[in-house]
Amino acid sequence: MKLHEVSLQEAITLLRSKRASSVELVNVFLERIKKYNPKLHAFITVRDEQEIIAEATKADQERAKGSDRLLLGIPIVLKDNFLTQGLRTTAASKVLDDYIPQYDATAVSRLKNAGAIILGKTNLDAWGHGSSGEHTEYGITRNPYDYERVTGGSSSGSGAAVASDLCIAATGTDTGGSNRQPASYCNLVGLKPTYGRVSRYGIIAMASTTDSIGHLTKRVWDSAAILSVTAGNDPLDATSSTEPVQQYHERLADKGRVKIGIPKEFFEGLETKLVTKVLQALDVLKARGHRLIEISLPNVKYAYAIYCVTVSSEVSSNLARFDGIRYGFPRQRFQDEAKRRIMIGTHSLSAGYADQYYKRAIAGRTLLIREFEEAFQKVDLIAGPVFPFPPFKHGEREKDPLKMYLSDVLTVPANLTGHPAISVPIGFVDNLPNGLQLIAPHFSETRLFRVSLEVEQELRMYERKPRLKQ
By annotation, the residues acting in catalysis are 79, 154, 178
* 3-class state of residue 20 by DSSP: coil
- The CA–CA distances, whole Å, from 145 to 182, 382, 467 equal 12, 28, 7
For residues 335 and 135, the answer to whether their CB atoms sit within 8 Å is: yes
Going 356 to 310 to 337 to 406, the CA torsion angle's sign is: negative
- The CA–CA distances, whole Å, from 167 to 32, 118, 160, 164, 245 equal 9, 9, 10, 8, 26
Quick one: residue 115, left, alpha or beta (phi over 0 = left, psi -120 to 50 = alpha)? left
Query: Residue 171, Cβ neighbours under 10 Å: how many?
Result: 29
Quick one: residue 463, left, alpha or beta (phi over 0 = left, psi -120 to 50 = alpha)? alpha
Beta-ladder partners of 78: 121
* 3-class state of residue 203 by DSSP: strand
The rounded distance, in Å, linking the Cα atoms of 345 and 337 is 12
